[in-house]
Amino acid sequence: MNTINQSNRTYTEFVKGLWKENPVFVAVLGMCPVLAVTNSAINGLAMGLATTFVLVGSSFLVSMVRHWIPKQVRITTFIVIIATFVSTVDMALEALVPKIHKELGAFIALIVVNCIIMGRQEAFAAKNTVKLSIADALGMSVGFIFALVTLGGLREILGSGSFFGFLLFGDHFEPWIIMILPPGGFFVLGFLLLFFNWLKKNRDERLKKQTAVLSKTMQGA
Amino acid sequence: MSEQFVDREIPIQSSSEPSSLRLIATLGIAGLLAGIVLVGAYVFTLPIIERNKEEALQEAIYHVLPGCSKYEALFLKDGQLVKPEKNTEAGSQHSVKRIFLGYNEKGAVVGFAIPASGPGFQDLIKLIYGFGPKADVIIGFEVLESKETPGLGDKIVKDQHFIGNFSALSVEPSLEGTPKGSKTKPNQIETITGATISSKAVIKALQVSLGEWRPAIQQYIEKNTLSN
Protein backbone atom coordinates (compact mmCIF):
# COMPACT_ATOMS: atom_id res chain seq x y z
CA MET A 1 0.00 0.00 0.00
CA ASN A 2 2.74 2.31 1.08
CA THR A 3 4.93 1.65 -1.93
CA ILE A 4 2.03 1.99 -4.33
CA ASN A 5 1.21 5.36 -2.87
CA GLN A 6 4.80 6.42 -3.02
CA SER A 7 5.35 5.45 -6.63
CA ASN A 8 2.07 7.15 -7.44
CA ARG A 9 3.29 10.30 -5.81
CA THR A 10 6.61 10.16 -7.65
CA TYR A 11 4.70 9.71 -10.88
CA THR A 12 2.38 12.65 -10.14
CA GLU A 13 5.31 14.92 -9.33
CA PHE A 14 6.98 13.93 -12.59
CA VAL A 15 3.94 14.30 -14.81
CA LYS A 16 2.76 17.65 -13.52
CA GLY A 17 5.72 19.47 -15.12
CA LEU A 18 4.94 18.08 -18.57
CA TRP A 19 1.57 19.69 -19.02
CA LYS A 20 -0.49 20.82 -16.04
CA GLU A 21 2.26 22.95 -14.48
CA ASN A 22 4.44 23.31 -17.57
CA PRO A 23 7.12 25.84 -16.59
CA VAL A 24 6.82 27.79 -19.83
CA PHE A 25 3.26 27.47 -21.10
CA VAL A 26 1.52 27.56 -17.72
CA ALA A 27 3.89 29.14 -15.20
CA VAL A 28 5.54 31.44 -17.81
CA LEU A 29 8.93 31.10 -16.08
CA GLY A 30 12.45 31.32 -17.46
CA MET A 31 11.50 33.64 -20.31
CA CYS A 32 15.11 34.74 -20.88
CA PRO A 33 16.35 31.46 -22.44
CA VAL A 34 12.90 30.67 -23.84
CA LEU A 35 12.93 33.79 -25.99
CA ALA A 36 16.67 34.11 -26.55
CA VAL A 37 17.86 30.73 -27.81
CA THR A 38 14.78 29.37 -29.57
CA ASN A 39 15.58 30.58 -33.07
CA SER A 40 16.19 26.99 -34.11
CA ALA A 41 15.01 23.62 -32.82
CA ILE A 42 18.51 22.29 -32.16
CA ASN A 43 19.47 25.32 -30.06
CA GLY A 44 16.31 24.87 -28.02
CA LEU A 45 17.07 21.18 -27.49
CA ALA A 46 20.68 21.81 -26.43
CA MET A 47 19.63 24.57 -24.05
CA GLY A 48 16.93 22.30 -22.64
CA LEU A 49 19.40 19.47 -22.02
CA ALA A 50 21.93 21.77 -20.31
CA THR A 51 19.16 23.16 -18.11
CA THR A 52 18.01 19.62 -17.33
CA PHE A 53 21.43 18.69 -16.02
CA VAL A 54 21.66 21.78 -13.83
CA LEU A 55 18.09 21.46 -12.56
CA VAL A 56 18.29 17.76 -11.70
CA GLY A 57 21.74 18.14 -10.13
CA SER A 58 20.72 21.15 -8.05
CA SER A 59 17.45 19.56 -6.94
CA PHE A 60 19.31 16.43 -5.88
CA LEU A 61 21.87 18.37 -3.82
CA VAL A 62 19.43 20.84 -2.34
CA SER A 63 17.02 18.13 -1.22
CA MET A 64 19.95 16.19 0.28
CA VAL A 65 21.24 19.05 2.40
CA ARG A 66 17.85 20.65 3.13
CA HIS A 67 17.91 19.81 6.86
CA TRP A 68 21.27 21.44 7.46
CA ILE A 69 20.66 24.74 5.76
CA PRO A 70 19.27 27.43 8.08
CA LYS A 71 16.27 29.22 6.59
CA GLN A 72 17.98 32.62 6.63
CA VAL A 73 20.77 31.64 4.27
CA ARG A 74 18.93 29.11 2.10
CA ILE A 75 18.63 31.26 -1.03
CA THR A 76 22.32 32.17 -0.92
CA THR A 77 23.27 28.53 -0.49
CA PHE A 78 21.00 27.46 -3.36
CA ILE A 79 22.58 30.06 -5.62
CA VAL A 80 26.07 28.81 -4.72
CA ILE A 81 25.00 25.25 -5.58
CA ILE A 82 23.32 26.25 -8.86
CA ALA A 83 26.19 28.50 -9.93
CA THR A 84 28.69 25.72 -9.27
CA PHE A 85 26.69 23.34 -11.45
CA VAL A 86 26.38 25.88 -14.23
CA SER A 87 30.11 26.67 -14.26
CA THR A 88 30.95 22.98 -14.27
CA VAL A 89 28.56 22.36 -17.19
CA ASP A 90 30.04 25.31 -19.03
CA MET A 91 33.58 23.96 -18.71
CA ALA A 92 32.57 20.35 -19.40
CA LEU A 93 30.70 21.31 -22.58
CA GLU A 94 33.62 23.40 -23.78
CA ALA A 95 35.99 20.48 -23.22
CA LEU A 96 33.79 17.67 -24.55
CA VAL A 97 31.60 19.20 -27.27
CA PRO A 98 33.24 22.48 -28.32
CA LYS A 99 30.91 22.82 -31.35
CA ILE A 100 27.73 22.88 -29.28
CA HIS A 101 29.36 25.11 -26.71
CA LYS A 102 30.22 27.57 -29.47
CA GLU A 103 26.62 27.47 -30.69
CA LEU A 104 25.05 28.24 -27.31
CA GLY A 105 27.59 30.94 -26.52
CA ALA A 106 26.76 33.16 -23.59
CA PHE A 107 23.48 31.45 -22.78
CA ILE A 108 25.06 28.59 -20.83
CA ALA A 109 26.32 30.99 -18.19
CA LEU A 110 22.86 32.53 -18.09
CA ILE A 111 21.24 29.28 -16.93
CA VAL A 112 22.20 30.45 -13.46
CA VAL A 113 19.58 33.20 -13.59
CA ASN A 114 16.88 30.94 -14.99
CA CYS A 115 14.10 31.30 -12.45
CA ILE A 116 12.76 27.80 -13.13
CA ILE A 117 15.81 26.39 -11.37
CA MET A 118 15.71 28.72 -8.38
CA GLY A 119 11.93 28.35 -8.28
CA ARG A 120 12.00 24.54 -8.11
CA GLN A 121 14.62 24.61 -5.33
CA GLU A 122 12.63 27.05 -3.23
CA ALA A 123 9.19 25.65 -3.97
CA PHE A 124 9.96 21.94 -4.03
CA ALA A 125 13.44 20.55 -3.41
CA ALA A 126 13.90 22.46 -0.14
CA LYS A 127 10.80 20.75 1.31
CA ASN A 128 10.75 17.26 -0.20
CA THR A 129 12.70 14.02 -0.27
CA VAL A 130 15.50 13.39 -2.75
CA LYS A 131 13.42 10.96 -4.81
CA LEU A 132 10.44 13.29 -5.19
CA SER A 133 12.71 16.26 -5.91
CA ILE A 134 14.42 14.42 -8.74
CA ALA A 135 11.04 13.34 -10.16
CA ASP A 136 9.87 16.94 -9.96
CA ALA A 137 13.07 18.27 -11.56
CA LEU A 138 12.93 15.71 -14.38
CA GLY A 139 9.27 16.49 -15.08
CA MET A 140 9.91 20.22 -15.16
CA SER A 141 12.95 19.69 -17.41
CA VAL A 142 11.05 17.56 -19.91
CA GLY A 143 8.29 20.18 -19.91
CA PHE A 144 10.91 22.88 -20.49
CA ILE A 145 12.55 20.94 -23.34
CA PHE A 146 9.12 20.35 -24.90
CA ALA A 147 8.41 24.09 -24.78
CA LEU A 148 11.82 25.10 -26.13
CA VAL A 149 11.72 22.62 -29.01
CA THR A 150 8.13 23.56 -29.92
CA LEU A 151 8.97 27.24 -29.94
CA GLY A 152 12.34 26.76 -31.63
CA GLY A 153 10.87 24.38 -34.22
CA LEU A 154 8.05 26.74 -35.16
CA ARG A 155 10.39 29.72 -35.38
CA GLU A 156 12.91 27.77 -37.44
CA ILE A 157 10.23 26.57 -39.87
CA LEU A 158 8.81 30.06 -40.32
CA GLY A 159 12.06 32.00 -40.18
CA SER A 160 14.55 29.75 -41.94
CA GLY A 161 12.32 27.26 -43.77
CA SER A 162 14.01 24.31 -42.09
CA PHE A 163 13.52 21.95 -39.15
CA PHE A 164 16.53 20.67 -37.18
CA GLY A 165 18.64 21.98 -40.06
CA PHE A 166 16.81 20.08 -42.81
CA LEU A 167 15.39 22.33 -45.49
CA LEU A 168 11.65 21.77 -45.76
CA PHE A 169 10.67 23.93 -48.68
CA GLY A 170 12.18 24.55 -52.09
CA ASP A 171 14.20 27.53 -53.19
CA HIS A 172 11.06 29.57 -53.67
CA PHE A 173 10.40 29.84 -49.95
CA GLU A 174 11.24 33.31 -48.72
CA PRO A 175 12.18 32.95 -45.02
CA TRP A 176 10.15 35.06 -42.66
CA ILE A 177 13.27 36.53 -41.05
CA ILE A 178 11.42 38.37 -38.28
CA MET A 179 10.48 35.02 -36.76
CA ILE A 180 14.10 34.26 -35.81
CA LEU A 181 14.56 37.80 -34.51
CA PRO A 182 13.58 38.74 -30.95
CA PRO A 183 10.10 40.05 -31.95
CA GLY A 184 9.38 36.67 -33.56
CA GLY A 185 10.01 35.03 -30.21
CA PHE A 186 7.33 37.16 -28.61
CA PHE A 187 4.88 36.57 -31.48
CA VAL A 188 5.23 32.79 -31.48
CA LEU A 189 5.24 32.53 -27.69
CA GLY A 190 2.13 34.72 -27.54
CA PHE A 191 0.28 32.53 -30.01
CA LEU A 192 1.39 29.35 -28.26
CA LEU A 193 0.17 30.68 -24.91
CA LEU A 194 -3.15 31.58 -26.56
CA PHE A 195 -3.40 28.08 -28.01
CA PHE A 196 -2.63 26.33 -24.73
CA ASN A 197 -5.05 28.50 -22.80
CA TRP A 198 -7.73 27.79 -25.40
CA LEU A 199 -7.11 24.04 -25.00
CA LYS A 200 -7.36 24.35 -21.22
CA LYS A 201 -10.56 26.37 -21.39
CA ASN A 202 -12.13 23.87 -23.76
CA ARG A 203 -11.25 20.99 -21.50
CA ASP A 204 -12.55 22.74 -18.39
CA GLU A 205 -15.86 23.47 -20.09
CA ARG A 206 -16.19 19.90 -21.26
CA LEU A 207 -15.48 18.65 -17.75
CA LYS A 208 -18.07 21.03 -16.31
CA LYS A 209 -20.70 19.79 -18.76
CA GLN A 210 -19.89 16.18 -17.94
CA THR A 211 -20.27 16.75 -14.20
CA ALA A 212 -23.52 18.61 -14.80
CA VAL A 213 -24.90 15.70 -16.84
CA LEU A 214 -23.63 13.24 -14.29
CA SER A 215 -25.27 15.02 -11.38
CA LYS A 216 -28.55 15.28 -13.33
CA THR A 217 -28.63 11.56 -13.99
CA MET A 218 -27.81 10.98 -10.33
CA GLN A 219 -30.77 13.15 -9.32
CA GLY A 220 -32.95 11.38 -11.84
CA ALA A 221 -32.03 8.05 -10.33
CA MET B 1 -2.37 11.37 0.25
CA SER B 2 -1.12 10.49 3.69
CA GLU B 3 0.78 12.74 6.03
CA GLN B 4 3.97 10.74 6.08
CA PHE B 5 5.21 12.03 2.74
CA VAL B 6 5.08 15.64 3.81
CA ASP B 7 8.40 16.57 5.25
CA ARG B 8 8.40 17.41 8.94
CA GLU B 9 9.14 21.01 9.79
CA ILE B 10 12.71 21.43 10.84
CA PRO B 11 12.60 22.59 14.47
CA ILE B 12 15.49 24.96 14.15
CA GLN B 13 13.65 26.93 11.51
CA SER B 14 10.43 27.53 13.36
CA SER B 15 11.45 27.79 17.00
CA SER B 16 14.55 29.95 17.34
CA GLU B 17 16.90 32.08 15.32
CA PRO B 18 20.10 30.22 14.50
CA SER B 19 23.26 31.88 15.73
CA SER B 20 25.11 34.03 13.23
CA LEU B 21 28.08 31.73 13.65
CA ARG B 22 26.01 28.90 12.23
CA LEU B 23 24.92 31.01 9.28
CA ILE B 24 28.49 32.01 8.55
CA ALA B 25 29.66 28.42 8.91
CA THR B 26 26.98 27.17 6.50
CA LEU B 27 27.83 29.70 3.85
CA GLY B 28 31.55 29.21 4.44
CA ILE B 29 31.31 25.45 3.95
CA ALA B 30 29.09 25.86 0.89
CA GLY B 31 31.54 28.34 -0.60
CA LEU B 32 34.53 26.16 0.20
CA LEU B 33 32.99 23.05 -1.36
CA ALA B 34 31.89 25.02 -4.43
CA GLY B 35 35.41 26.41 -4.75
CA ILE B 36 36.98 22.97 -4.59
CA VAL B 37 34.58 21.60 -7.20
CA LEU B 38 35.16 24.57 -9.51
CA VAL B 39 38.94 24.46 -9.24
CA GLY B 40 38.84 20.71 -9.83
CA ALA B 41 36.67 21.09 -12.92
CA TYR B 42 38.87 23.93 -14.19
CA VAL B 43 42.12 22.05 -13.74
CA PHE B 44 40.61 18.95 -15.29
CA THR B 45 39.09 20.63 -18.36
CA LEU B 46 41.73 23.29 -19.09
CA PRO B 47 44.23 21.02 -20.93
CA ILE B 48 41.38 19.49 -22.98
CA ILE B 49 40.01 22.92 -23.87
CA GLU B 50 43.49 24.17 -24.82
CA ARG B 51 44.08 21.09 -26.97
CA ASN B 52 40.70 21.54 -28.67
CA LYS B 53 41.55 25.16 -29.42
CA GLU B 54 44.96 24.23 -30.78
CA GLU B 55 43.39 21.54 -32.98
CA ALA B 56 40.72 23.96 -34.18
CA LEU B 57 43.43 26.51 -34.98
CA GLN B 58 45.46 23.95 -36.91
CA GLU B 59 42.38 22.92 -38.88
CA ALA B 60 41.60 26.57 -39.55
CA ILE B 61 45.12 27.24 -40.84
CA TYR B 62 44.84 24.38 -43.34
CA HIS B 63 41.42 25.68 -44.30
CA VAL B 64 42.40 29.29 -45.02
CA LEU B 65 45.60 28.31 -46.84
CA PRO B 66 44.39 25.95 -49.58
CA GLY B 67 47.08 23.41 -50.46
CA CYS B 68 49.00 24.01 -47.27
CA SER B 69 50.51 20.90 -45.73
CA LYS B 70 53.00 22.32 -43.22
CA TYR B 71 53.26 25.56 -41.29
CA GLU B 72 55.45 27.38 -38.83
CA ALA B 73 54.61 30.11 -36.35
CA LEU B 74 56.17 33.55 -36.58
CA PHE B 75 56.13 36.28 -33.95
CA LEU B 76 56.14 40.03 -34.24
CA LYS B 77 59.11 41.54 -32.44
CA ASP B 78 60.10 45.19 -32.80
CA GLY B 79 58.13 45.43 -36.03
CA GLN B 80 59.82 42.39 -37.55
CA LEU B 81 58.72 38.82 -37.99
CA VAL B 82 60.92 36.38 -36.16
CA LYS B 83 60.93 32.65 -35.72
CA PRO B 84 60.20 31.52 -32.19
CA GLU B 85 63.18 31.15 -29.94
CA LYS B 86 63.42 28.00 -27.95
CA ASN B 87 62.93 29.59 -24.55
CA THR B 88 59.93 31.74 -25.46
CA GLU B 89 58.14 29.03 -27.32
CA ALA B 90 56.71 27.19 -24.39
CA GLY B 91 55.94 29.96 -21.94
CA SER B 92 54.71 32.99 -23.79
CA GLN B 93 53.15 31.30 -26.78
CA HIS B 94 49.68 32.45 -25.85
CA SER B 95 50.51 35.98 -24.85
CA VAL B 96 52.51 36.93 -27.94
CA LYS B 97 50.77 37.66 -31.22
CA ARG B 98 51.66 35.12 -33.81
CA ILE B 99 50.95 34.33 -37.45
CA PHE B 100 51.58 31.20 -39.42
CA LEU B 101 53.58 30.75 -42.59
CA GLY B 102 52.19 27.85 -44.60
CA TYR B 103 54.10 25.74 -47.14
CA ASN B 104 52.77 23.24 -49.65
CA GLU B 105 54.10 19.74 -50.18
CA LYS B 106 56.94 20.94 -52.40
CA GLY B 107 58.07 23.40 -49.76
CA ALA B 108 56.89 26.50 -51.57
CA VAL B 109 55.15 29.25 -49.65
CA VAL B 110 51.34 29.18 -49.85
CA GLY B 111 50.77 32.23 -47.72
CA PHE B 112 50.36 33.54 -44.22
CA ALA B 113 47.50 32.54 -41.93
CA ILE B 114 46.78 35.53 -39.74
CA PRO B 115 44.46 35.46 -36.70
CA ALA B 116 42.58 38.70 -36.15
CA SER B 117 39.76 40.03 -34.05
CA GLY B 118 37.48 43.02 -33.94
CA PRO B 119 34.34 44.19 -32.16
CA GLY B 120 31.20 42.70 -33.69
CA PHE B 121 27.55 43.31 -32.93
CA GLN B 122 27.73 41.80 -29.45
CA ASP B 123 31.25 40.67 -28.64
CA LEU B 124 34.68 40.30 -30.20
CA ILE B 125 34.66 38.37 -33.47
CA LYS B 126 37.77 36.22 -33.67
CA LEU B 127 38.74 35.12 -37.14
CA ILE B 128 41.64 33.86 -39.19
CA TYR B 129 42.45 34.60 -42.82
CA GLY B 130 44.94 33.46 -45.39
CA PHE B 131 47.05 36.12 -47.08
CA GLY B 132 49.02 35.55 -50.25
CA PRO B 133 51.81 38.13 -49.96
CA LYS B 134 53.00 38.14 -53.56
CA ALA B 135 49.69 38.94 -55.22
CA ASP B 136 48.45 40.89 -52.18
CA VAL B 137 45.25 38.90 -52.00
CA ILE B 138 43.25 37.26 -49.25
CA ILE B 139 42.93 33.60 -50.17
CA GLY B 140 40.87 32.16 -47.33
CA PHE B 141 38.75 33.14 -44.37
CA GLU B 142 37.19 31.50 -41.36
CA VAL B 143 35.50 32.74 -38.19
CA LEU B 144 37.02 31.14 -35.11
CA GLU B 145 34.75 32.56 -32.44
CA SER B 146 31.75 34.85 -32.49
CA LYS B 147 28.67 35.64 -30.47
CA GLU B 148 26.79 37.29 -33.31
CA THR B 149 22.99 37.10 -33.36
CA PRO B 150 22.02 33.54 -34.26
CA GLY B 151 20.21 33.41 -37.58
CA LEU B 152 21.47 36.81 -38.70
CA GLY B 153 24.93 37.96 -37.70
CA ASP B 154 26.18 34.41 -37.46
CA LYS B 155 25.81 34.11 -41.22
CA ILE B 156 29.36 35.47 -41.37
CA VAL B 157 30.29 31.98 -40.18
CA LYS B 158 28.02 29.89 -42.42
CA ASP B 159 27.02 31.92 -45.47
CA GLN B 160 28.95 30.33 -48.34
CA HIS B 161 28.41 33.30 -50.60
CA PHE B 162 29.96 35.63 -48.05
CA ILE B 163 32.90 33.32 -47.37
CA GLY B 164 33.37 32.94 -51.12
CA ASN B 165 34.26 36.63 -51.16
CA PHE B 166 37.58 35.77 -49.63
CA SER B 167 38.96 33.33 -52.19
CA ALA B 168 40.83 35.93 -54.24
CA LEU B 169 40.19 39.26 -52.65
CA SER B 170 42.55 42.06 -53.50
CA VAL B 171 43.62 44.19 -50.55
CA GLU B 172 44.67 47.10 -52.78
CA PRO B 173 43.97 49.92 -52.17
CA SER B 174 41.74 48.84 -49.27
CA LEU B 175 38.88 46.46 -48.54
CA GLU B 176 35.43 47.72 -49.35
CA GLY B 177 31.95 46.50 -48.53
CA THR B 178 29.20 46.51 -51.13
CA PRO B 179 25.62 45.16 -51.16
CA LYS B 180 25.08 41.63 -52.44
CA GLY B 181 25.20 41.30 -56.21
CA SER B 182 26.92 44.62 -56.89
CA LYS B 183 30.58 43.60 -56.84
CA THR B 184 32.55 45.23 -59.64
CA LYS B 185 36.11 45.58 -58.30
CA PRO B 186 38.45 42.87 -56.98
CA ASN B 187 38.78 44.62 -53.62
CA GLN B 188 35.04 44.60 -52.89
CA ILE B 189 33.28 42.30 -50.48
CA GLU B 190 29.58 41.53 -50.91
CA THR B 191 28.01 41.96 -47.50
CA ILE B 192 25.20 39.78 -46.15
CA THR B 193 21.64 41.10 -46.29
CA GLY B 194 20.38 41.28 -42.72
CA ALA B 195 23.87 41.09 -41.26
CA THR B 196 25.32 44.38 -42.36
CA ILE B 197 26.89 45.24 -39.01
CA SER B 198 28.58 41.86 -38.65
CA SER B 199 29.82 41.95 -42.26
CA LYS B 200 31.26 45.40 -41.79
CA ALA B 201 32.84 44.34 -38.50
CA VAL B 202 34.63 41.52 -40.34
CA ILE B 203 35.87 43.90 -43.04
CA LYS B 204 37.10 46.37 -40.43
CA ALA B 205 38.88 43.67 -38.43
CA LEU B 206 40.61 42.46 -41.60
CA GLN B 207 41.63 45.99 -42.58
CA VAL B 208 43.06 46.75 -39.14
CA SER B 209 44.93 43.45 -39.04
CA LEU B 210 46.34 43.96 -42.54
CA GLY B 211 47.57 47.40 -41.56
CA GLU B 212 49.32 45.85 -38.62
CA TRP B 213 50.93 42.86 -40.32
CA ARG B 214 51.52 43.80 -43.94
CA PRO B 215 54.63 45.95 -43.45
CA ALA B 216 56.27 43.22 -41.37
CA ILE B 217 55.27 40.53 -43.87
CA GLN B 218 56.63 42.51 -46.81
CA GLN B 219 59.88 43.11 -44.95
CA TYR B 220 60.14 39.44 -44.10
CA ILE B 221 59.61 38.42 -47.70
CA GLU B 222 62.19 40.84 -49.05
CA LYS B 223 64.69 39.63 -46.51
CA ASN B 224 64.10 35.97 -47.14
CA THR B 225 63.27 36.30 -50.84
CA LEU B 226 60.56 33.71 -50.56
CA SER B 227 59.40 32.26 -53.80
CA ASN B 228 55.65 32.59 -53.96
pLDDT at A220 over 80: no
> How many Cα atoms occupy the beta-carbon half-sphere of A65 within 13 Å?
20
pLDDT at A73 over 80: yes
CA B212 from chain centre, in angstroms, equals: 17
The per-residue pLDDT for A221 is 59
Using the Cβ of B7 and the Cβ atoms of chain A, whether some distance falls under 8 Å is answered with yes
- B178-227 confidence digits (pLDDT tens): 888 788 888 888 888 878 888 989 999 999 999 888 888 888 888 776 54
Taking the CA of residue A51 and the nearest CA in chain B, the distance in Å comes to 18
Of A79 and B123, more confident:
A79
> How many Cα atoms occupy the beta-carbon half-sphere of B71 within 13 Å?
25
Using the Cβ of B30 and the Cβ atoms of chain A, whether some distance falls under 8 Å is answered with yes
Quote the Cα angle for B87-B221-B113, to 5°.
65
pLDDT at B4 over 50: no
Q: Would you tell me which residues 149-188 of chain A have a C-beta closer than 8 angstroms to some C-beta of chain B?
A: 159-160, 177, 180-181
Q: Do B147 and A106 touch (CB under 8 A)?
A: yes
Locate all alpha helices (DSSP H) within chain A, ordered by sequence: 2-16, 31-36, 41-64, 74-96, 98-104, 115-120, 130-160, 182-220
Of A175 and B84, more confident:
A175
Q: Do A181 and B152 touch (CB under 8 A)?
A: yes
Q: Do B1 and A181 touch (CB under 8 A)?
A: no
Residues 6 or more apart in contact with residue A128 via CB below 8 angstroms: A63, A136, B7
The per-residue pLDDT for A143 is 94
- A162-172 confidence digits (pLDDT tens): 888 888 887 77
pLDDT at A218 over 70: yes
Q: What is the mean pLDDT of residues A61-89?
A: 91
Using the Cβ of A83 and the Cβ atoms of chain B, whether some distance falls under 8 Å is answered with yes
Percentage above 90 pLDDT, chain B: 24
Which range is least confidently modeled, A192-196, A213-217, B34-38? A213-217
- Return the amino acid letter for A86: V
CA B211 from chain centre, in angstroms, equals: 19
The per-residue pLDDT for B228 is 45
Tally of structural domains, chain A: 1
Supply the range of the domain harboring residue A214: 2-167+176-220
pLDDT at A142 over 90: yes
Using the Cβ of A92 and the Cβ atoms of chain B, whether some distance falls under 8 Å is answered with yes
CA distance A90 to A100: 11
Residues 6 or more apart in contact with residue B65 via CB below 8 angstroms: B71, B102, B110, B111, B113, B130, B139, B140
Average pLDDT over chain B reads: 81
Confidence of residue B95 (pLDDT cuts 50, 70, 90): low
Of B222 and B85, more confident:
B222
pLDDT at B5 over 80: no
Using the Cβ of B158 and the Cβ atoms of chain A, whether some distance falls under 8 Å is answered with no
Which of A37, A94, A128 minimises the CB distance to B49? A94
- A21-45 confidence digits (pLDDT tens): 888 888 888 888 888 888 889 888 9
Confidence of residue B86 (pLDDT cuts 50, 70, 90): low
Specify which residues B142 forms β-bridges with: B128
Which residues from chain A sit within 8 angstroms of residue B152, using beta carbons?
Answer: 177, 180-181
Of B194 and B116, more confident:
B116
Confidence of residue A155 (pLDDT cuts 50, 70, 90): very high
Which of B22, B41, B56 minimises the CB distance to A91? B41
Which candidate, B195, B159, B160, places its Cα nearest to that of B177?
A: B195
Which of B22, B23, B45 minimises the CB distance to A95? B45
Which residues from chain A sit within 8 angstroms of residue B37, using beta carbons?
Answer: 84, 88
